[in-house]
Amino acid sequence: MTTPPFNIAAAFRNKAIALRASFLAIRDVTAHPSERGNQGEADWVGLIRDFLPTRYAVGPIFAVDHHGAMSQQIDVAIYDTHYSPQWFGASSGTRFVPVESVYAVFEVKPEFSSAYLEYARAKVASVRQLQRTSQSVVHKGGVYRPEEIGLKPIIGGFLTTRKGLASPIEKLVETQPREGEVDFLNIGICLDQVAFDYTPKVVGDEVQVLLNSREGVDALIHFCIRLFQQLQAVGTVPAVDMAKYEATVFQGTGER
């Protein structure tokens, strides 16, 4: 077989090596946990941003809903900037975005452990528990009807760089809630060691959501491809219903 002019597998593997080297570099020069954490989050943001199409924004956020409820701080989020306005930003780069614009949220931790796994689930749940709205969108050929929120799930994930457990996938299965619960994790990775995902797959007339995993140096390749497939399944996030946000802004003032 002729060798293709672009080696996709080598490109992914080189990216994994670069990310791991960046993580190890900051860990070797500082023992301060927040500095290590900030570097790890920035590395994951950069990797995911480089891989995904430019239609997706990637970075740390707080998600908010039209009632004024707010999620916990999310280390890495994939979100939309086309159909939903972006409320406020901070000099650190963290943004406050309407929950309607969120495609996926990830918790970044240094290792895959039982405690961090539960922490990641709590972060994901804090976003999914917010109330999303949906509005129609006018386009050249007519009007897109409001999206059905239930068909636009928010992807929840876990990003780590080393294993803190002998069998992380076994612990995941042992503690994983039912698919569809607010703290269910759809995808995750322990860099260069193991990746897991619950990517929907059409089998006959039904959609199955089963656990998949891959161990070894190709874990990152598996993670990136499956993340993209899950984003494809979501399609486009719902357009925010600004009337509901406006109602909260002027509640009790008599203005409309």
pLDDT at 212 over 90: yes
Asked if residue 82 is part of any domain, the answer here is: yes
26 within a domain of the structure (yes/no): yes
- In 3D space, the residue among 213, 232, 7, 15 whose CA is nearest the CA of residue 104 turns out to be 232
The predicted-structure confidence for 114-143, as pLDDT tens digits, reads as follows: 999 999 999 999 999 999 998 766 555 555
Q: Provide the pLDDT for residue 23.
A: 63
pLDDT at 159: 96
Catalytic residue among 41, 100, 109, 123: 109
Say whether pLDDT at 220 is over 80. Answer: yes
Q: Are strands 57-64 and 74-79 parallel, antiparallel or unpaired?
A: antiparallel
pLDDT, average across residues 242-252:
84
State pTM to two decimals.
0.87
Check residue 34 and give its pLDDT.
53
Active-site position among 41, 43, 107, 183 = 107
Q: Residue 170: count other Cβ atoms within 10 Å of its Cβ.
A: 10
In a domain, 187, yes or no: yes
2 domain residue, yes or no? no
Distance from C-alpha of 125 to C-alpha of 102, rounded to nearest angstrom: 13
Number of domains in the chain: 1
What crossing angle do the helices spanning 33-51 and 8-29 adopt, rounded to 10°? Answer: 160
What pLDDT shows up at residue 32?
45
Spatial distance between the Cα atoms of 19 and 111, rounded to a whole number of angstroms: 15
Q: Which of 41, 75, 100, 183 is catalytic?
A: 75
pLDDT in tens, 163-204: 889 999 999 999 999 999 999 999 999 987 999 999 988 777
Determine whether 75 is an active site residue.
yes
Copy the structure tokens of residue 179: 């698919």
Give domain status of residue 181, yes or no.
yes
Phi and psi angles of residue 146, each rounded to the nearest 5 degrees, phi first: -55, 140
For residue 3, being part of any structural domain is answered with: no
- What is the mean predicted confidence (pLDDT) over 207-211? 87
Asked whether residue 1 is assigned to any structural domain, the reply reads: no
Residue 183 appears among annotated catalytic residues = no
Give the range of the structural domain holding residue 131, as residue numbers without chain letter. 8-248
Any domain includes 253? no
Query: Token match 């070894």: residue?
Result: 216
The pLDDT tens digits of the residues spanning 47-91 come to 898 889 999 999 999 999 999 999 999 999 999 988 777 777 766
